[in-house]
Structure 1
Amino acid sequence: MMNAKPSSVEEYLSWYSPDIREKLELMRATILKAIPKANEVISYHMPAYRTTEVLVYFAAAKRHIGFYPTNSGVSEFKNELKEYVTSKGAIQFPLDKPLPLQLISEISKFRAAEAQKRAELKAKLKKKKE
């Protein structure tokens, strides 16, 4: 199961038991509501949300749901994430606790704004060169 590459987020979600799927669906709905312009894709075998770049990913693990908002998404919210296990670009939300939906939403919005700024900067630099 873990080596298979899902062709869609629906397929990915279908691999999990109803209790885990419910949490994954909640993650998905929260992210899509926070960043409605993002396209839902599969990247690195996980659900991912992208605009000009991939903003956030999530995946189920044995005891947690991994949320991957890249390095900046973790470092920017380090105070809010004190109670969670984190690493450079990852956050672990334990399966036995409610998901911090507000925090997931804020981190997703932060990443969308960051990507937007980066895209605008890139466009400006490109124009300068022309």
Structure 2
Amino acid sequence: MALLTHDDYLAGLAPEVRSKLQAIQHLVETLLPAATRCISYRIPAYHDQRVFFYFAAFKNHIGIYPPVRHDQALITALAAYRGEKGNLSFPLAQPLPLNLIARVVLALHLEHHTLAPKQQA
């Protein structure tokens, strides 16, 4: 069955994991009220003229994509969470660093909405 909404995706998660993803949703929607929910690559994402932020639950972590590329101070602050390709992995067993994730949301929005050329719809 194809996922159509964030709610469809969240419905299949354990309550403690669902609450972490809902916190990320709330954060994105508070910071960027014009951003809209979508599903892309079969995971929850946010769109504002183009998709700029993806997040998903895995067995032991929450992943956030794509990597931040243009904010060196933020990249340094994210070092403990960055994988080989720069994607972020936040362990489920630890509290989410929501202040840091907020910086990621804003940086990715800037990189993919403002700095990158706009794609035709």
TM-score under structure 2 normalisation?
A: 0.84
- Report if aligned partners of 1:41, 1:50 keep a CA contact under 8 Å in 2: yes
Q: Which runs of 4+ in 1 moved over 4 A?
A: none
Name the SS for the 1:98 alignment partner: coil
Q: Which residue of 2 aligns with 1:127?
A: none
2:3–2:42 contact (8 Å) kept in structure 1: yes
Q: Is residue 83–residue 89 contact of structure 2 (8 Å, CA) maintained in 1?
A: yes
Is 1:74–1:86's contact at 8 Å kept on the other side of the alignment?
no
- Work out whether 1:106 is the aligned partner of 2:103: yes
Whole-Å Cα distance in 1 between the matches of residues 93 and 53 of structure 2? 22
* Stretches of structure 1 lacking an aligned partner (at least 5 in a row): 123-130
Residue identity (%): 34
Paired AA for residue 90 in structure 2: F
Distance 2:58 2:70 in 1: 22
Give me the whole-angstrom Cα distance separating, in 1, the residues matched to 2:93 and 2:45.
23
Normalising by structure 1, report the TM-score: 0.79
What is the rounded CA distance, in whole Å, between the counterparts of 1:21 and 1:74 in structure 2?
Answer: 28
CA RMSD of aligned residues (A): 2.1
C-alpha deviation, 1:5, in angstroms: 2.8
What is the aligned counterpart of 1:95 among 67, 92, 96? 92
Task: Identify if the C-alpha distance between structure 1 residues 63 and 15 changes in structure 2 by more than 3 Å, giving closer, same or farther.
Answer: same
Counterpart residue identity of residue 98, structure 1? P
Q: Check the 8 A contact 1:74/1:90 in 2, yes or no.
A: no
Equivalent in the alignment of 1:41 = 38
- Structure 2 residue runs of 5 or longer lacking an equivalent are none
